[in-house]
Amino acid sequence: MKRTKTPETFQWVQAPMAGGTTSTDLVVAVCEAGGIGWMGSGYQTPEAIRTQAKEVASNTSGKFGINLFVPEKRNEEVEEARKSLQSLYERAELAQPNLTSFENEYFQFHGKVKAICESSATYIGFTFGIPSNEILQQCRQAGKVIVGTATNEIEAQHWLQSGCEVLVLQGKEAGGHRGSHDPNASPNYAATTNALLQMIRPLTDLHLYVAGGIMSGKDAAMFYELGADGVQIGTAFLQAMESGLHPTAKGALAKRNKKTTWTKAFSGRWARGLQNEFMEKYKNHPHAAYPLQHELTVPIRKWAKQTGNAEWDAVWAGEGYERGEVSTASMLLQKWQKEFHDRTNRAYAE
Ligand SMILES: Cc1cc2nc3c(=O)[nH]c(=O)nc-3n(C[C@H](O)[C@H](O)[C@H](O)COP(=O)(O)O)c2cc1C
């Protein structure tokens, strides 16, 4: 997409957040307020994607996107990880979950891509890697705008070679899963959002959206000045009235009494969330590869939500979460846009 660098064309993107947060209400509210709403559909079935995409399209004429996790070959060994969670299953009287084979995950992924190609979503986004040329071609033929995710320069270069129209640069401050292409890439070496933008901006004229730690219009204005074409905001939408985040997690965020940290213990991939007992206890235990570890902990996280105990749930949140506000998505966007325009107009006037 050709860049048109003015404050008026700057994009306000609500980050895809898999696991129910990006409810139809949230996506629609963001689109209606002039932003770009995204469905985080990594955990949805093709049928659920079709249904939600239809709901979104019938409630807004705004542009929206649908995001998927790209499957990767993985070690299928789960017994050690399963054994280490056994006492928790017993304590909560939980049944052992069924796990998805790589073949099935891959088959499902194709079904999801097809569902998105047949939907009225404008954008299709990929996280955790780059899908095959065949899939990218399928998306282009369906007229979708392809959005990639990169967490470092090498990943950005790979996306630039494969061909995407927009690239999301995810810095270390970001909440939720790191979009790293290599599941074992240590977050200890992760770049900040600011550093990432300054590394990648000189390499391309593609639209670049920055993600990670953006909690206000002032933050967005700073990234605009550094050459971003838009901001992708996750954590600051978690407490929006329309967000589908579970009340147990919303309650934990509202307390503002914890630091965030990275963990692999919930899903087998690095993700940032509120530090809690589960992360601490299982930090050094064996973890299965993603998505097997995710599937092993699904019953535990469900039980934690139902019993209102956020200590055993994954409360994904970015470093800036203490600055989050409870409000409607449209009021949040209006406030950020005003702060942004106040800053950018002032910069022009000076
Ligand atoms: C609860 C939650 C779930 C997320 N799920 C996804 C996802 O499904 N796909 C994705 O590409 N990124 C996901 N992310 C990461 C966001 O896309 C984005 O990079 C991040 O929220 C930006 O940083 P911030 O949280 O500081 O705003 C998630 C983030 C959060 C907080």
Can you point out the beta strands (E) in the chain?
Answer: 11-14, 37-40, 64-69, 123-127, 145-150, 166-170, 176-177, 207-211, 230-233, 260-263, 271-274
CA of 113 to the centre of ligand 1 (A): 20
CA of 188 to the centre of ligand 1 (A): 18
In this structure, what DSSP letter does residue 31 have? H
List, for residues 51-88, the tens digit of each pLDDT value: 999 999 999 999 999 999 999 999 999 999 999 999 99
| Coil, strand or helix at 45 | coil
Predicted confidence band of residue 7 (pLDDT cuts 50, 70, 90)? confident
pLDDT of residue 6: 86
List, for residues 279-317, the tens digit of each pLDDT value: 999 999 999 999 999 999 999 999 999 999 999 999 999
Predicted confidence band of residue 169 (pLDDT cuts 50, 70, 90)? very high
Ligand 1 contact, 220 CB (< 6 A): no
CA of 212 to the centre of ligand 1 (A): 8
Top pLDDT among 346 and 165 is at 165
| Coil, strand or helix at 215 | coil
- Structural tokens at position 194: 């600011």
Closest approach atom of ligand 1 to CA 237: 27
Identify which of 17, 172, 266, 305 to mutate to test ligand 1's pocket (most ligand atoms within 8 A of the CB).
17
Q: What is the pTM assigned to this prediction? A: 0.97
Nearest-CA residue for ligand 1 atom 10 is 16
Q: DSSP string of 290-331?
A: TTHHHHHHHHHHHHHHHTT-GGGS--B--TTGGG---B-HHH
CA of 346 to the centre of ligand 1 (A): 31
Ligand 1 contact, 211 CB (< 6 A): yes
CA of 102 to the centre of ligand 1 (A): 24
Ligand 1 contact, 272 CB (< 6 A): no
Amino acid identity of residue 7, one-letter, is P
| Distance, CA of 273 to CA of 151 (rounded, Å) | 17
Among 128, 108, 158, smallest CA distance to 290 is for 128
Identify which of 155, 316, 333, 336 to mutate to test ligand 1's pocket (most ligand atoms within 8 A of the CB).
316
Contact between residue 239 and residue 325 where contact means Cβ atoms under 8 Å apart: yes
Q: How far is the first Cα of the chain from the last one, in angstroms, to the nearest whole number?
A: 30
pLDDT of residue 83: 96
Instruction: Give the CA angle between residues 47, 50, 54 to the nearest 5°.
Output: 145
Ligand 1 contact, 314 CB (< 6 A): no
List, for residues 90-106, the tens digit of each pLDDT value: 999 999 899 999 999 99
Nearest-CA residue for ligand 1 atom 11 is 127
Contact between residue 311 and residue 277 where contact means Cβ atoms under 8 Å apart: yes
List, for residues 173-227, the tens digit of each pLDDT value: 999 999 999 999 999 999 999 999 999 999 999 999 999 999 999 999 999 999 9
CA of 117 to the centre of ligand 1 (A): 22
CA of 313 to the centre of ligand 1 (A): 17
Contact between residue 149 and residue 179 where contact means Cβ atoms under 8 Å apart: yes
Residue with tokens 């040329």: 133
| Percentage above 70 pLDDT, the chain | 98
